[in-house]
Amino acid sequence: MADVNDAIEFMQLSVEADSDNRALALIDLKFRYGEQWPQYAIASRGLDRPQLTINEMDSYIRQVTNSQRQQRPRIKIHPVNDYADVKVAKVLSGLMRHFEVNSDADNAYDTAFDFAATMGIGYWSVSHDYISGDSFDQDILINTEDNPFAIYFDPSSTLPDGSDAEKALKTAMMKREHFKKEYPGAQGSSFNETATGDSDADWETKNEIRLAEYYFVERQKAKLILMSDGTPLWENEVPPFSVLEQAGVSVIGERDSFKRKVMWRKQTAYDILDERELPWNWIPIVPVYWTRVKIENKILRQGMVRPGMDSQRMINFWQTSITESIALAPKAKWLMAEGQDEGHENEFKNANLSANPVLRYKTTDINGNQAPAPQRMQPEPPPSGSVEAAFLANQNLQRVMGIFDPNMQEGPAKSGKAVQAERNQSENSNFHGYDNLTRSLKHTARIILSGIPKILDVATTRRIIGEDGTPELVQLNTPDQGTDAQAIGKVLNDVRVGKYDVVMDTGPGYDSKRVQGVDSMMQLMNSPIGQKVSNVGDDLIVRHMDFPGADVLADRLAAANPFSQIDEKSEIPPQVQMQIKQLQAQLQQAQQQLQQAGEVLKSRSDLKQMEETAETQREHMRLTVKAHDIETRDAQIQRDVTMETQTRAHDAALGYKKAMDVEELKAHVALLIAKMDDNAEKAEKGDESRDSRIYERTHPSFPGYRIRND
């Protein structure tokens, strides 16, 4: 049964084991930020003497911590057994970067490293929580611990990353009224014991309640079973025999072991408010050490401050002495004969304060004797010993801190590379702190890896972030919906199986490497193989450049470059994909050559076809002309026949009319003759009738015709 006294007893044990380190750490922290004069010196100098603080130590520490910010260690995941997958390892690396970005882990790392550099130790913690109030999806968080004195870590831990810790305690304060609302009916009281750095008014007031989060490891005896497929299972996790038989798996070994559980409990000194098992395999509080050494069976921790305290105090003392000596030195005085300033006393008295360009004096003394012009007497310079001591104190501080400014060192001018090499040498003297940070980050990644199969245990879609900061959505633990028969039963990006380990990538960050890469690429472009490099990687060269539109231009170049279509997420290795792309490029080139040859053949065929078409057209024109001539001739013949027929018909009509006219004329003639005969008879008879007169009058052809006017 859970007992609140476990946490209280552990806290007392931690306080007893770590009290000296806590006391010294608090002094270190205060010293870095200005409390650099010891109490005996303050008391001996009194209130009327200056006590200057020239805090050079803080700037030296910031050189180290800011250098760490420019070269952050990066987490990479590698598979280590048959059930792990390289592709899933890349997804896990992207998930790690997502967790870091989502929880602002950079702040947690920087805060812990800054505390470690100052007083020897800093912390961050790992937790998990729901993404939002209306979601069942959870994310893993890396939390900033901005008060290392509120954390009580296992004093039995000896490893530099704290991975062997079995217990840890984290305390916090809560307003009493808030505590009563959140935990109604619970008793509240602060712990009976507090440690140095954790006992000021901000942590212990009548208006606040101290809460403690207690982490501890429980070990239970259990039997570990080894299956024939290499899978280790606890005895209570082994499926029934029928299931194993159906799957073709059997038990091949077993051994006694301990099942490790990490527990978490929130409590006061009297009540346990909450308790549960955590999904991690280690205590999720990660320490970052600077210098940690065991002396006489006691662990001593320190940062950069403690070794440099004396040098910094010397700087403060000698700078104060120089300032004090100058401030107390007599003002510059005038040397003149008595009576030379008569009438001009105020002018000489205020000469140091006035901007008057004229200073008048008398050329004779009080007795009327000729006297030289007044002379200014220079004051005593600052003591050279104090100036030299202040300079030496500054040099000592640099040596103790292990940080040198190459620009301040005497000697001939140095090249930029030489200056950078000396700066790198200064950083190497404090590299152990950076290396300890890397170890702690590696342990953090292992903690997160141990919890991913339990937290991300269902099919889901999550964001991952690439090394260059590019985000992407991927499916986790999702059955493959492909039509390929080999995909049946396969799960995409299954993070619940397989064993993975962590490898840390140190050195310059992605942006720094990108800038350095551009310089190297441009040098390579000017080499004899520059053209070959440009043919296969022109898009990569442009993509690494830092100017507006570089990505757009790189995308356009990549669209025309078959080698840029390599899919890093494909199960086909990149080398094989590259060979396939090369073969495809060769095949495409061959197809283009065939197409060009076909176009040549086609042009020749088209020319022949054009010749045949022209000949056909000429023959068609010839036949058309011939047919037109025949048609024209036939039309002419038809016209001639028609005209001839019409002419004949016209002639026949004219002949007929003529014949009719002749016949009519003959009839008339006959009639005339008959009448003439009749008239002749009548004439003979002497009886001219009226008809004969009319006839004679109307027919000129009648013999004896004459015009008459009757």
pLDDT tens digits along 551-610: 777 777 777 776 666 665 565 666 666 667 777 777 777 778 788 777 777 777 777 777
Strand-pair partners of 535: none
| pLDDT: which is higher, 605 or 493 | 493
For residue 33, what pLDDT is reported?
93
For residue 308, what pLDDT is reported?
92
User: Using 50, 70 and 90 to split pLDDT, how confident is the model at 200?
Assistant: very low
Most confident of 44-53, 256-265, 609-618: 256-265
For residue 386, what pLDDT is reported?
82
For 484-518, b where at least 16 C-beta lie within 10 A, e where not — what string?
eeeeeeebbbbbeebebbbeeeeeeeeeeeeeeeb
Distance CA 505, CA 76 (A): 7
- pLDDT > 60? residue 468: yes
Amino acid found at 443: H
**Tokens encoding 25:** 């750490």
Distance CA 147, CA 501 (A): 31
What phi and psi, each to the nearest 5 degrees, are found at residue 541?
-65, -45
- pLDDT > 70? residue 527: yes
User: Using 50, 70 and 90 to split pLDDT, how confident is the model at 709?
Assistant: very low
Q: Cβ neighbours of residue 410 under 8 Å, at least 6 residues apart?
A: none
- pLDDT > 70? residue 296: yes
Residue whose token pair is 């301990």: 258
What integer is the mean pLDDT of 134-152?
A: 91
What integer is the mean pLDDT of 301-308?
A: 93
| pLDDT: which is higher, 530 or 635 | 635
Q: Which helix (H) or strand (E) holds 125?
A: strand 121-130
For residue 169, what pLDDT is reported?
94
What phi and psi, each to the nearest 5 degrees, are found at residue 298?
-125, 140
**Tokens encoding 329:** 């030195």
For residue 201, what pLDDT is reported?
43
Radius of gyration of the chain (CA): 59
For residue 415, what pLDDT is reported?
59
pTM of the model: 0.70
- pLDDT > 60? residue 255: yes
Distance CA 613, CA 608 (A): 8
For 63-72, b where at least 16 C-beta lie within 10 A, e where not — what string?
bbbebbeeeb
- pLDDT > 80? residue 655: no
Distance CA 482, CA 473 (A): 19
In Å, what is the CA distance from 445 to each residue of 125, 170, 281, 440, 507? 12, 21, 12, 9, 18
Q: Decide: 262 and 214 in contact? Cβ < 8 Å.
A: no
| Helix, strand or coil, per DSSP, at residue 143 | strand
For residue 109, what pLDDT is reported?
96
For residue 144, what pLDDT is reported?
95
Name the percent of the chain lying above pLDDT 90.
Answer: 27
Distance CA 696, CA 706 (A): 8
For residue 569, what pLDDT is reported?
58
For residue 281, what pLDDT is reported?
93
By C-alpha distance, which of 278, 263, 273, 266 is closest to 140? 278
| pLDDT: which is higher, 171 or 413 | 171
- pLDDT > 60? residue 156: yes
**pLDDT tens profile 662-673:** 777 777 777 777
Name the percent of the chain lying above pLDDT 70.
Answer: 82
For residue 370, what pLDDT is reported?
87
Helix segments in 71-159, DSSP class H: 86-102, 105-119
What integer is the mean pLDDT of 357-369?
A: 84
For residue 336, what pLDDT is reported?
87
Most confident of 129-133, 356-360, 460-464, 490-494: 460-464
What integer is the mean pLDDT of 229-243?
A: 80
What integer is the mean pLDDT of 425-444?
A: 88
* DSSP summary character for residue 481: -
User: Using 50, 70 and 90 to split pLDDT, how confident is the model at 705?
Assistant: very low
**Tokens encoding 592:** 């283009």
User: Using 50, 70 and 90 to split pLDDT, how confident is the model at 485?
Assistant: very low
What integer is the mean pLDDT of 144-173?
A: 93
For residue 493, what pLDDT is reported?
86
User: Using 50, 70 and 90 to split pLDDT, how confident is the model at 202?
Assistant: very low
What integer is the mean pLDDT of 114-122?
A: 95
Whole-number mean pLDDT of the chain? 81
Pick the range with the lowest mean pLDDT from 279-288, 419-428, 452-461, 695-704: 695-704
For residue 203, what pLDDT is reported?
43
For residue 435, what pLDDT is reported?
92
For residue 574, what pLDDT is reported?
60
Pick the range with the lowest mean pLDDT from 57-61, 183-187, 309-313: 183-187
- pLDDT > 50? residue 393: yes
For residue 685, what pLDDT is reported?
64
Give the dihedral of Cα atoms 189, 193, 194, 200; nearest 10 deg: 60
